Structure 1
């Protein structure tokens, strides 16, 4: 959602690789497909098809990784296009769209590290190095996801509310009490 709102914020819909109205839906459906496939792996496991269950989990994780790679590619293509032909809104000094894209790149990299680790973990199995050494779970799973939360806490994109007038953005108070209507 942050990428779509960033693109709309700078009025760069025409520069997006994927139509902005379909952007969030595309990546949410990629995640849903990934989760459904991984969730069905438990059925295979219960029925005694452990190899098929393992393949389903890995397939779901690979779908998630492909979906996230497509997300990253979409953001990179948008950034290159808007740098080549900037919109007037993207040139405003109060507009922080570059910082938001860099924040998205950082959290995306952390999530991709975790996804790759999860694939390696499942491929190696219960006796593999990642599950037999606890430090790998901290370094490649817990820490990256904790860092994602901290980055979003520090740099939450609250200035991407739909309908904001960019010229008056600096004048909008953090809270506003509306008189009775």
Structure 2
């Protein structure tokens, strides 16, 4: 990395525009491509084995991460390529929104499987709809803003940055609300004598959800700070921050859902109740 000189002067043939203020690390990108590739293979296998289709967005997010870091390998060899830059920028940016979509669908499934949907402050029927809708809005805003930022035009990039920040704030807002609702549900579950046995089974899924939510929230805050700071600020100039506050955190989210499978007995019970028509959500 140190042997490369990046020309940011207006006479560099691109009006001074450069995709990065550092030369993308080949080794770091390769490591994370391999890590996410292995994890995606395991997640895909389990997805089909357990038929946990609600986790499809999450698995697509893992693939986004893998291809995104492959784009950084391309940028290492072809620094000024807009194609590689757009690929890595958009896919790495958007992957956590896909993780969030599946995580939002987890809470209602936990509540229904534990026969405790009455402890939710929002009906289980609407819980997933509300938060996934917010996640879609966040995803679309970040997609649109990321596309504008990747265009290379300074004015368009500035507008795109503001749109991305708006999308990230939407993501943070809905994540914060989701954590509050999940915490209240957990508290009510702990206080409910009729759910003592069920709460023991559900505890690991709830704590896994908290862990994943927390990491995605930290990552989103990092991205907001990154975009608030000047284009040539320390976060943009030091690639290590990307790997510490984005790649590593998102890899931890992917791994925790390998350790604690988002399927198993708890979700078999959810499916059983669903198949038996025992949800009665429309009457609550």
TM band (smaller chain)? 0.7 to 0.9
Q: Runs of 5+ in structure 1 lacking a partner? A: 166-181
* 2:117 maps to 1:10: no
How far apart in 2 are the matches of 1:115 and 1:138? 14
Between the two proteins, the alignment pairs up a number of residues equal to 163
CA drift of 1:125 comes to: 4.1
How far apart in 2 are the matches of 1:13 and 1:111? 25
Decide which structure has greater helix share.
2
Any conservation in 1 of the 2:175–2:213 contact (CA below 8 Å)? yes
1:153/1:42 CA distance change after superposition, 3 Å: closer
How far apart in 2 are the matches of 1:93 and 1:78? 13
How far apart in 2 are the matches of 1:127 and 1:54? 14
Runs of 4+ in 1 over 6 A off after TM superposition: none
How far apart in 2 are the matches of 1:103 and 1:43? 33
CA drift of 1:93 comes to: 6.9
Hey, what does 1:38 align to over in structure 2? 142
How far apart in 1 are the matches of 2:146 and 2:206? 37
Hey, what does 1:131 align to over in structure 2? 236
Note the alpha carbon deviations across 1:2-46, whole angstroms, 9 max, x for none.
Answer: 111111111111110221111222121111101222223256555
How far apart in 1 are the matches of 2:188 and 2:168? 30
> What is the TM-score with the length of structure 2 in the denominator?
0.53
Q: How does 1:61-100 map to 2 (within 5 A)?
A: 61-86=168-193, 88=194, 90-92=195-197, 95-100=200-205
Q: How does 1:21-170 map to 2 (within 5 A)?
A: 21-41=125-145, 48-86=155-193, 88=194, 90-92=195-197, 95-158=200-263, 159=265, 160-161=267-268, 162-164=270-272
> What is the TM-score with the length of structure 1 in the denominator?
0.81
1:123/1:98 CA distance change after superposition, 3 Å: same
CA RMSD of aligned residues (A): 2.1
Partner SS, residue 122 of structure 2:
coil
How far apart in 2 are the matches of 1:105 and 1:39? 26
